[in-house]
């Protein structure tokens, strides 16, 4: 029964994204550690990565995130402004070496199945991408009978983040402006941002009154820079795309 639920939920959430022009992709579950050094995840959260070595001397890790791999698909061929936005979706498992004391039922697990999506777009397209994802999250949870609240997850003064402070300030202002533009009531969570950018987190309340993040939409200027992603603009110059991360259910295990 649990398997049927997972499959139906995965199919349900994929329909939303396929209707928005997303393309299904498939990435490996194990990769050279260099991938996560480039993305910054090794630098910021080495304790979450599970390593192994091969006889040839390669240092490998079970993938803790999907975004670096989707950047590689994007960069596999030249991109034009006519191609953007480029939208990928994948329901896949990531692996985090969580400490045993932090584990808890399906809410905190080491193998996390995400209905993950990544959009590569221009600055001018960000608003429309967010609008679509906000609308889909609201529609999906209304159909499921779950009421959500919104948290804008911003950085704190710590050093667990990638990119320049000025870029963060611009991204956080954009997130706040979008929330207000769509008349969304929100609270601000300082220190709850992803390492690469601020987020809109849709929060559900459980039977004990605890708030848990489910759907999330995240703005990312850092990884396109770190992976040197480009597209050719209308005037022929090379420009950097912006990356938008989204999961509608978030973690299937946590959602269940």
User: What averages of pLDDT result for each successive group of 10 residues across the chain (256 residues)?
Assistant: 94 93 95 89 76 79 93 97 97 85 76 95 92 90 89 90 86 89 90 90 85 90 94 96 94 90
In the residue annotation, 96 being an active-site residue is answered as yes
Active-site choice (118, 155, 239, 254) = 118
* 246 is annotated as an active-site residue: no
Q: Could you confirm whether 245 is annotated as catalytic?
A: yes
Q: What pLDDT was estimated at residue 103? A: 74
Given 17, 63, 69, 96, the catalytic residue = 96
Question: 199 catalytic, yes or no?
Answer: yes
Q: Is 235 a catalytic residue?
A: no
pLDDT at 148: 87
Catalytic residue among 41, 69, 114, 213: 114
Give CA angle at 169 (164, 174), nearest 5°: 125
Task: Give the predicted TM-score (pTM) of the model.
Answer: 0.91
Question: Of 41, 63, 67, 201, which is the active-site residue?
Answer: 67
| Confidence at residue 47, expressed as pLDDT on a 0 to 100 scale | 73
């Amino acid at each position: 029964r649990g398997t049927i639920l997972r499959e139906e939920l995965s199919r349900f959430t994929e329909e939303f994204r396929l209707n928005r022009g997303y393309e299904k992709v498939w990435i490996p579950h194990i990769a050279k550690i260099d991938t996560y050094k480039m993305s910054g995840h090794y630098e910021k959260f080495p304790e979450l990565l599970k390593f192994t070595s091969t006889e040839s001397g390669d240092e490998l890790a079970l993938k803790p995130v999907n975004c670096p791999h989707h950047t590689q698909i994007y960069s596999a061929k030249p991109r034009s402004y006519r191609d953007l936005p480029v939208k990928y979706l994948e329901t896949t498992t990531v692996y985090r070496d969580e400490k045993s004391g932090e584990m808890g039922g399906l809410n905190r697990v080491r193998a996390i199945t995400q209905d993950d999506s990544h959009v590569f777009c221009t600055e001018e397209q960000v608003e429309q991408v967010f609008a679509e994802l906000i609308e889909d999250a609201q529609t999906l949870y209304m159909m499921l009978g779950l009421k959500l609240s919104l948290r804008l997850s911003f950085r704190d003064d710590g050093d667990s983040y990638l990119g320049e402070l000025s870029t963060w300030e611009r991204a956080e202002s954009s997130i706040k402006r979008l929330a207000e533009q769509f008349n969304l009531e929100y609270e601000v969570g300082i220190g709850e941002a992803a390492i690469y950018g601020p987020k809109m987190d849709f929060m559900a309340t459980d039977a004990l009154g605890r708030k848990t993040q489910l759907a999330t939409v995240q703005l990312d200027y850092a990884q396109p820079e770190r992976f040197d992603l480009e597209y050719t603009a209308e005037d022929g110059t090379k420009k950097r795309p912006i990356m938008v991360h989204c999961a509608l259910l978030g973690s299937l295990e946590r959602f269940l």
